[in-house]
Structure 1
Amino acid sequence: MTQTDILQTILKDSNYNLSLFSDEEIEALRQQVFTKEARGKETPFINCIVRDKEIQLKPEEVVRQLYATRLIEQYGYPKKRLAFEYAVTFGREKKSADIVIFDKDRTDTAYIVVELKKPKLKDGKNQLRSYCNATGAPIGVWTNGEKISHYHRKDPNYFEDITDIPKGNQTLKDILSERFTLRDLIIKDKIANERKSLKDIILEMEDEVLANAGVDVFEEVFKLIFTKLYDEFGSKKDKDIIEYHLDQNLDEEERGDYEKLKECLETLNDKKFRVMEFRNTGQTDTELKKKIQELFNEAKNQWHGVFPEGSSFELSDSHLSVCVSSLQDVKLFNSNLLVVDEAFEYLVNKSAKGEKGQYFTPRHVIDMCVQMLNPKRGEYMIDTASGSCGFPVHTIFKLTGHLFTNAEIPDEEKQHVLKVFGIDFDEKTVRVARTLNLIAGDGETNVLHLNTLDFERWNDKTEKDPKWINTYGKGFDRLEKLRSDKGENKNFNFDILMANPPFAGDIKESRILHQYELGFKGNGKAQSKVGRDILFIERNLDFLKPGGRMAIVLPQGRFNNTSDKHIREFIAQHGRILAVVGLHGNTFKPHTGTKTSVLFVQKWDDKLCPKVDDYPIFFAVSEKGGKDNSGDYIYVKNGNGQYKLDKNGHLIVDHDLHNHGGELPDGIAEAFIEWAEKEKLSFWVEG
């Protein structure tokens, strides 16, 4: 066994990980490992930093030694204040806490308890809660070497997140009341530092307070995220200064190293930066709720039409305090929206979205479609089943060159934003989408709450519902201008359409079916039911002008079932099939394992896409879907097992759909673009 691989060998097949620690910390520990014979075989040992004796190195012990070294060297706790395997009494039973830090003044009293034994956060947190309650320790830490959580035991009932534990010369009050700016948020971002997703954090909030709070979880978490986004939005001038500082001091590769990025930001003077307001700074729960409600009211004034004017937080003061503490160190503005998206997908599916068979499209699938269809300035784009509006928002990114940051969009670019539209029948997802679009589009959005398939009934909303008109009227006015025929909502003149329509359940209402050619059999007889996604194929073609192009996610069966031959013939009759990309089976997990493909079509047009009977089609199959069998994202790691970040400081999903701006090998999108240029497809021909 060599020194190089000894730690990874110890950790193999365990639930522990070292990605929380720097290369320097890991290497320092590795140099201290020695082997000796135990029970007839060579076994790794170390001289314990706290107990001053030889200890066999098992997975948990590796993490404990690393974290204890950090407590001593970085946090400044003297060894005499630390104890391992500290006995905690529960009636007649005794258990051992992994690490305890004693109070500075009362050297026999536990001040911080650290739990390593349980590799899963929920189990570890429950164990930690019991230890803190039994010892009276006000602070608890859980880590498995990959993720870490810091808590303030507010009372026996609630564990409240804190940004970090105090250093040896600090108090808990020092930590809570520290001045905190956007620079600090990037440095201490919980998602990058603690390796948690926003969904993980919401699940933890549910477990802590939300499940029994007697409130609509979606509404309350949405209000919190909406308010938090507004708070970050308020620091957009500071964001510009931060970006300039990073550009001046780091090259692109260094910006992908989170530790280097943090080190660089530590040198930036932020004394004149705005202080973040979405924070629990140690005030009373009542004072905190008043502050957060005022911030929410300001957000509603900035971004209209998402929440009713008089809406307020329904959470109790103490529950809100726990939730604010959980979210305050999460950086929500993110280059690809994956952070916010995954959380909203979970929340919306708790309602009814999943029952209708529609799931938010993973961002790497969206980016592949956007790259392949190549939207250009001046073109009109729509998503007819927009969900959280990934396709429209990423089209805005492509047209404006701006990612989802809190930077201003110049006025000359807003005209391009106003040519991007989204429609969805689910009111909750429309509100989520409007929030993301309002920010991405700097205050304007064309996201509409309508049933795409039932266009005959649109007038009930657009002409007779004052509340709907007040919220969505401006966007619908812009949509009306794209009608092919004045006064009717069937045909439009969009250049591009991208959609992932619901593909569960049939439409059985004859009134709707009679509006569609695919609602009838080949002999002219009306069908009694038609798959929802089938009607979306026809409806989407109605939205495109001649020469317009679309990408649509469909169940794999539509491409090879013999019973669906008439659908394939219908598509071929109306346009050129450009490409079919088979997505990996894990793409839409954990919600569904249904095999899907993306169909790319360009509507026939004498100039842009002249009709021919025989032509080549681009076929591809994704072999690396970016998710594991459980539906969790798989992220790219560097040579030391730590997560790699892209130039925007965000995790990189490991897939083969596109090259993620050069961070991944060329993928399906790049292969299609090369093919499309050779084929001289109209939207890939220069000029």
Structure 2
Amino acid sequence: MSDQIVKAKDLIQDTSSASELFDFITSKPIPNKPENREAKVPFEKRLIEEYGYNKTDIEPEFRIQHGSHTIGPADIVVFHSSKEHIQENIYIIIECKKKDSKDGEQQLKSYLSPCKSAKYGVWFNGDEAKYFKILDKDPHWREILNIPTAMEQEGLPRKADLKPIVDLNKLLEPIHHKIYADGGLSSEEIFDEIIKLMFAKIADEKDTASPSVSFGISDVEEEAINNNTSNDFRARIEDLFDRVKRRYKDLFDESEKIKIKTATLAYIAAQFENLSFRNTERDIKAAAFQKFVYAHQRGERGQFFTPDPIIKLAVNIIDPKEDEMIIDPACGTGGFLVETMKFVWQQIDESKDSSIDKDRRKLDYARDKIRGIDIAKRLAKVTKMRMILEDDGHTGVFSADALASFPTIQKEAIESNATAIQQGSFDIVLTNPPFGSKGKVTSKAILEQYELAYKWKANETGTFEKTNIIADQVPDILFIERCLQLLKYGGRMGIVLPDGDITNSTLSYLRQYIKDKAKILAVISLPKETFIPHGTGVKASVVFLHKLKPEDLEKEKKKDYPIFFGIIEKIGYDGDKKGTPLFKRNEDGEAFLDEDGEQILDEDVSEVVKEWKEFNHGKIG
């Protein structure tokens, strides 16, 4: 479908039902078993693309001679470079198991034992990995932090030799498990530690003054840590994080430290040291990081993630342009900002400019036109990291209370080295504010700025008038007013709101306020399962507004302008906590495929976008 805006690749796909699986080394079909699908093929790919080994030096399913018996086959065998594929030339053996499996370590060692030239062994179950170095004497093997790359030399790697990351999520998940196994840190604290280290790793990559990696660990340092003797490793990593704290003062307190144990920090450094975030394709690292974020962050204080289909819906309806400024004052993990940036970059890619000019325009747009605020430092960190992984735009994101006074927000922006936020300066606002009666705003200093923080009373004609009485208010209602304050005349906005804001009789004054301040472009109702996988079962809608000058708005109201109402019934995933993707199928239960061979999600989001475009004749307002 030409209007298909949500495809299967936008969500996690379950490939367990695929009929064929192909070995990454031989390209031959192999049994589609969990251990092959989850561990063997992914690790084969890592050996080539991350570790730098040649396919010609790798053989899957290699049998080992042990005395008079043949054992195995070993799942993956790496041979010494350019050597014949015989047992005497084995360099590394990898044993692969399905997820959650803990067995196989002794099986690996039984393969290594008769292979005198073997130097390393790996046990991998798709999530967790153990690396072993072969020793000439008891205990004959020692667990290490990682195996060497094909070109690895003594000491720390050179930055020029760093490889792109093949699967960031498969890199981050074992790190999360390793920190968790140490105990002492909550899930949120673990997430924070990983974010700290990602910032430190990228800071190291951006430091062109040093040709060698700082975010890594040498053999000497690894041995010192194992022997509990002093070394410079931890101090070097903490120095990188100190640089990050100085650069991002709004996100990290000066007193913050890396909480991870030194041995675990060494393990993480070993996983990162040969890889480059900056050399990894933008789509790979951004999509994987988003998946990791969704897996380990849940809503708090009424905050929760906006699902991708709804983000795409809002961005397609708002239809942002390269010269337009956008802000999300409750940016969360940056979904609206990232999708808007990608939407505009697609427009730039379709222009006739040279590649160099296109790259310059993309960078200018990301730096000059995108702004994001979130009260939660943790979420602002995530948004900054997402923007960095997308290649920029992070300078416009900072942590502050977007409901505070504009002078307060300006002060926070300056202290954060972020761009100033001016009232009435934005062409577009897209946001999904926190909502719920549990988290009412009670600060008088904040409330007195807002007309919607006062009680309203109907007069004898039925028109609501603002009284002088200030009352505690839910943030979603205050955000409606703040978003309108941020918009310039002619600007437009999309905001996710609980259905109660639209339907409750006690909020009639709110609906009058909206009609008096903006033209209502569209109201799109979302199905009840929309936010269940993201932490809440609240029924919601997306409301789109166009801020006009008072005289122009009056003209529109006199014309009794039409409003687009859309109803989304199928969101493309199940209403369970996992958000299991649902695909369109024929009468025989077979999934429909698009022109790229992708399964097509069973959704009507794209149809609503199409109906909106037909309704609006391609124009806003």
TM-score of the alignment, normalized to the shorter chain, above 0.5: yes
Return the alpha-carbon distance in structure 1 between the equivalents of residues 320 and 39 of structure 2: 53
The residue that corresponds to 2:221 in the other structure is 284
**Structure 1: runs of 5 or more not aligned:** 1-11, 30-56, 89-95, 167-172, 236-273, 484-491, 659-665, 683-687
Structure 2 counterpart SS, 1:223: helix
Decide whether aligned partners of structure 1 residues 428 and 288 sit closer, same or farther in structure 2, where only a CA change above 3 A counts: same
2:289 counterpart letter in structure 1: V
Question: Aligned match of 1:334 in 279, 282, 287?
Answer: 282
Return the alpha-carbon distance in structure 1 between the equivalents of residues 451 and 485 of structure 2: 11
Q: Say if 2:197 is the partner of 1:224.
A: yes
String of CA shifts for 1:638-682, please: whole Å, max 9, x gaps: xx99x99999xxx99957577xxxxxxx5543443343225x424
2:489 counterpart letter in structure 1: P
1:220 is displaced (CA, Å) by: 2.2
The residue that corresponds to 1:426 in the other structure is 376
The residue that corresponds to 1:623 in the other structure is 570
Structure 2 counterpart SS, 1:377: coil
1:427 is displaced (CA, Å) by: 2.2
Decide whether aligned partners of structure 1 residues 667 and 114 sit closer, same or farther in structure 2, where only a CA change above 3 A counts: farther
The residue that corresponds to 2:51 in the other structure is none
1:443 is displaced (CA, Å) by: 7.5
Return the alpha-carbon distance in structure 2 between the equivalents of residues 65 and 443 of structure 1: 35
Alignment of 1:35-50 (within 5 A): none
1:127 counterpart letter in structure 2: D
Q: Given that residues 97 and 113 in structure 1 are in contact (C-alpha distance below 8 angstroms), is that contact kept between their aligned partners in structure 2?
A: no
The TM-score with structure 1 as length reference comes to 0.61
The TM-score with structure 2 as length reference comes to 0.66
1:607 is displaced (CA, Å) by: 5.2
Decide whether aligned partners of structure 1 residues 356 and 129 sit closer, same or farther in structure 2, where only a CA change above 3 A counts: farther
Question: Aligned match of 1:549 in 489, 492, 496?
Answer: 492
Return the alpha-carbon distance in structure 1 between the equivalents of residues 313 and 574 of structure 2: 16
The residue that corresponds to 2:533 in the other structure is 589
Return the alpha-carbon distance in structure 1 between the equivalents of residues 24 and 79 of structure 2: 28
The residue that corresponds to 2:312 in the other structure is 367
String of CA shifts for 1:134-183, please: whole Å, max 9, x gaps: 9998634334xxx476430489997745589x9xxxxxx97999978789
Alignment of 1:530-545 (within 5 A): 530-545=473-488
Q: Given that residues 159 and 208 in structure 1 are in contact (C-alpha distance below 8 angstroms), is that contact kept between their aligned partners in structure 2?
A: no
Return the alpha-carbon distance in structure 2 between the equivalents of residues 652 and 306 of structure 1: 40
Return the alpha-carbon distance in structure 1 between the equivalents of residues 154 and 578 of structure 2: 36
The residue that corresponds to 2:416 in the other structure is 472
The residue that corresponds to 1:34 in the other structure is none
Q: Given that residues 251 and 381 in structure 2 are in contact (C-alpha distance below 8 angstroms), is that contact kept between their aligned partners in structure 1?
A: yes
The residue that corresponds to 1:681 in the other structure is 620
Return the alpha-carbon distance in structure 1 between the equivalents of residues 166 and 595 of structure 2: 13
1:600 counterpart letter in structure 2: F
Question: Aligned match of 1:417 in 364, 367, 381?
Answer: 367
Q: Indicate the larger mover: 197-206 or 379-388.
A: 197-206
Return the alpha-carbon distance in structure 1 between the equivalents of residues 398 and 37 of structure 2: 50
Return the alpha-carbon distance in structure 1 between the equivalents of residues 146 and 18 of structure 2: 22
Q: CA RMSD in A?
A: 5.5
Structure 1 counterpart SS, 2:300: helix
1:318 is displaced (CA, Å) by: 1.4
Return the alpha-carbon distance in structure 1 between the equivalents of residues 366 and 76 of structure 2: 57
2:178 counterpart letter in structure 1: M
The residue that corresponds to 1:343 in the other structure is 292
1:425 counterpart letter in structure 2: I
Decide whether aligned partners of structure 1 residues 294 and 654 sit closer, same or farther in structure 2, where only a CA change above 3 A counts: farther
String of CA shifts for 1:85-112, please: whole Å, max 9, x gaps: x9x9xxxxxxx999798999999x9985
The residue that corresponds to 1:139 in the other structure is 121
1:544 counterpart letter in structure 2: L
The residue that corresponds to 2:431 in the other structure is 499
Q: Say if 2:95 is the partner of 1:114.
A: yes
Task: Give the paired residue count.
Answer: 535
Return the alpha-carbon distance in structure 2 between the equivalents of residues 400 and 80 of structure 1: 51
Identical aligned residues as a percent: 21
Q: Given that residues 154 and 219 in structure 2 are in contact (C-alpha distance below 8 angstroms), is that contact kept between their aligned partners in structure 1?
A: yes
User: Taking CA–CA contacts closer than 8 Å with sequence separation of 6 or more, which of the two structures ends up with the larger relative contact order?
Assistant: 2
Decide whether aligned partners of structure 1 residues 607 and 508 sit closer, same or farther in structure 2, where only a CA change above 3 A counts: closer
Decide whether aligned partners of structure 1 residues 333 and 657 sit closer, same or farther in structure 2, where only a CA change above 3 A counts: farther
1:502 is displaced (CA, Å) by: 0.5
Return the alpha-carbon distance in structure 2 between the equivalents of residues 622 and 327 of structure 1: 43
String of CA shifts for 1:318-361, please: whole Å, max 9, x gaps: 11122234456585763383332343455554xxxx22121233
Question: Aligned match of 2:167 in 190, 196, 206?
Answer: 190
Structure 1 counterpart SS, 2:430: strand
The residue that corresponds to 1:522 in the other structure is 457
Q: Given that residues 188 and 297 in structure 2 are in contact (C-alpha distance below 8 angstroms), is that contact kept between their aligned partners in structure 1?
A: no
String of CA shifts for 1:554-599, please: whole Å, max 9, x gaps: 2234344444444334323322222233345144514223333221
Structure 1 counterpart SS, 2:59: coil
Q: Say if 2:131 is the partner of 1:152.
A: yes
